[in-house]
Amino acid sequence: MAHLTTIDMSLALLLGTELAEDVVAGHKSFGISAPGPYVERVEALGVTHVPIAHLTRSWNLRSDLAAFVELFRTIRRLRLDVLHTHNPKTGVMGRIAGRLAGVPVVVNTCHGLWAKPEDPWRKRTFVYGAEALAIRFSDFEFFQNAEDARTLRRFLKRGRWQVVGNGVDLERFQPDPEGRVRVRAEWGVADDEVVVGTIGRRVREKGLAEFAEAAHRLGSRARFVWVGPEDDTDTATQVPHEDAIRFVGERTDMPAVYSALDIFVLASYREGFSRASMEAAACGLPMVLSDIRGCREIGTDGEHLLLVAPRDPGALAAGITRLLDDIPLRARLALAAQERANVEFDQRRIAAVSLRAYAEVLAGRQDGSLRPRRWRGESRTAQQNSETNG
């Protein structure tokens, strides 16, 4: 079986646990993506990385056509039983190429639609149209959030889709008191200082401008830290008040980094199902998140976290101020978020659902039918909702 993403970072960071579970289950597993610095981490999981040299994150007709041809030839050469596609571009290209190459089971996970309801109609038409076309080439569709499933419901095949949520490695992401001390010492932060931080690529759509403005307004009350790599796909990342933020490059000791924070913030404009927020929750942090799909799934406003209007630095600053002023609220939200994470955000559960789906679809192929059936472990209510909406 193979998992297909645009870049190797997605294989290593977003799908690492799922890839590892495939190997543990005894399957020969491939990770297909553009080559990059994360290949070694992918192969350390026991997965064979297969590079697609022409794959890029940006859309370009000429290079995308070359990537599609290369991808088709690669998939056909690997003689796969299962192809599981991810990410917007490779999700579309991979489903079509996989079916044309004769892969018996083609499955896709929607990690978040590339278009939002408020986007211009041309963008929404392109994105939804591409998804509608690609769905026709797949056997099963997974969605990380229900809002994306509702958006595409008219195109989905009855009984062939499921909202599965998302997860992280709960064995890894736990509070790390020793790591907290070490990281804060590296940053020169005193024990009694409050650190407000965000984790993610340094791009505008992650709320860079809003986070910078909040840091400027509240810099006398807390330290503001942004942890994550720069991203060459966003060439206009200069925003006012960036000097109010301490920028830290990508790190591998993320449980310690989360533990070094006192408040986690994600001011993103678009998320499929925020992995950084799940990790922060598992590490027991109080959170201020954008009120968008992909963040609302993390928890309930006022019970597990605080939700604030996206693209609104004033609202973001007010949410952070509320947690700075109310220490008992911080403690209550942190505990509730961690309890929810331990119940809802186990990535091994997601991997198990995927493996069951592969087996069910493959069994349907082998006996000559693909009649809808309830997945083992899925509630009858969830199946009824799937068939009603599908």
pLDDT at 389 over 80: no
Rounded to 10 degrees, what is the CA torsion of 84, 87, 90, 91? 60
* The pLDDT value given to residue 230: 85
> Average model confidence (pLDDT) for the chain?
91
- Comparison of pLDDT for 204 and 328, the residue scoring more: 328
- Comparison of pLDDT for 269 and 272, the residue scoring more: 269
Q: What pLDDT, in 10s, does the model give residues 208-225? A: 999 999 999 999 999 999
pLDDT confidence tier of residue 378, bands split at 50, 70 and 90: very low
DSSP code for 158: T
What is the pTM (predicted TM-score) of this model?
A: 0.82
* The pLDDT value given to residue 234: 61
CA–CA gap between residue 167 and residue 279 (Å, rounded): 9
CA–CA gap between residue 72 and residue 60 (Å, rounded): 18
pLDDT at 4 over 60: yes
Mean pLDDT value of segment 247-269? 96
Residue 52 backbone dihedrals phi, psi, to 5 degrees = -120, 100
Task: Decide if 210 contacts 316 (C-beta within 8 A).
Answer: yes
* Backbone region of residue 312 per phi and psi (left: phi > 0; alpha: psi in -120 to 50; beta: other values): beta
Give me the amino acid identity at 279.
E
Residues with Cβ within 8 Å of residue 151, at least 6 apart in sequence:
113, 117, 128
Q: What is the assigned CATH class of domain 2-167+347-385?
A: alpha beta
Percent over 70 (pLDDT), the chain: 92
Q: What pLDDT, in 10s, does the model give residues 115-162? A: 878 889 999 999 999 999 999 999 999 999 899 999 999 999 999 999
* The pLDDT value given to residue 114: 87
Residues with Cβ within 8 Å of residue 246, at least 6 apart in sequence:
187, 223, 224, 225, 226
* The pLDDT value given to residue 379: 40
pLDDT confidence tier of residue 18, bands split at 50, 70 and 90: very high
CA–CA gap between residue 226 and residue 234 (Å, rounded): 16
Rounded to 5°, the CA angle 23-349-369 comes to 80
Mean pLDDT value of segment 252-270? 96
CA–CA gap between residue 263 and residue 251 (Å, rounded): 19
Q: What pLDDT, in 10s, does the model give residues 278-310? A: 999 999 999 999 999 989 999 999 999 999 999
Q: Where are the domains of the chain?
A: 2-167+347-385, 177-344
Task: Decide if 33 contacts 55 (C-beta within 8 A).
Answer: yes
pLDDT at 388 over 70: no
Q: Which element (helix H / strand E) includes 74?
A: helix 61-78
**Dmax (CA) of the chain:** 67
Q: What pLDDT, in 10s, does the model give residues 313-339? A: 999 999 999 999 999 999 999 999 999
Candidates 124, 158, 128; CA nearest to 141 is 158
Angle between helices 61-78 and 88-100 (to 10 degrees): 50
- Comparison of pLDDT for 380 and 93, the residue scoring more: 93
pLDDT confidence tier of residue 382, bands split at 50, 70 and 90: very low
**Is residue 192 classed as helix, strand or coil in its secondary structure?**
coil
DSSP code for 45: T
pLDDT confidence tier of residue 376, bands split at 50, 70 and 90: very low
Mean pLDDT value of segment 47-53? 97
Mean pLDDT value of segment 247-252? 92
CA–CA gap between residue 319 and residue 91 (Å, rounded): 36
Percent over 90 (pLDDT), the chain: 82
* The pLDDT value given to residue 237: 55
**Is residue 250 classed as helix, strand or coil in its secondary structure?**
coil
Candidates 226, 328, 343; CA nearest to 286 is 328
Q: Say which range, 40-44, 194-198, 231-235, 295-299, has the weakest mean pLDDT.
A: 231-235
Same fold, 2-167+347-385 and 177-344: yes
* The pLDDT value given to residue 233: 65
Give me the amino acid identity at 208.
L
pLDDT at 264 over 70: yes
* The pLDDT value given to residue 272: 83
Q: Say which range, 67-71, 194-198, 235-239, has the weakest mean pLDDT.
A: 235-239
Superfamily of domain 177-344: Glycogen Phosphorylase B; (3.40.50.2000)
Residue 35 backbone dihedrals phi, psi, to 5 degrees = -70, 155
**Is residue 209 classed as helix, strand or coil in its secondary structure?**
helix
CA–CA gap between residue 278 and residue 261 (Å, rounded): 15
Mean pLDDT value of segment 245-263? 96
Instruction: Give the C-alpha distances (Å, rounded to integers) separating 6 from 33, 89, 135, 324, 335.
Output: 5, 7, 18, 39, 36
* Backbone region of residue 86 per phi and psi (left: phi > 0; alpha: psi in -120 to 50; beta: other values): beta
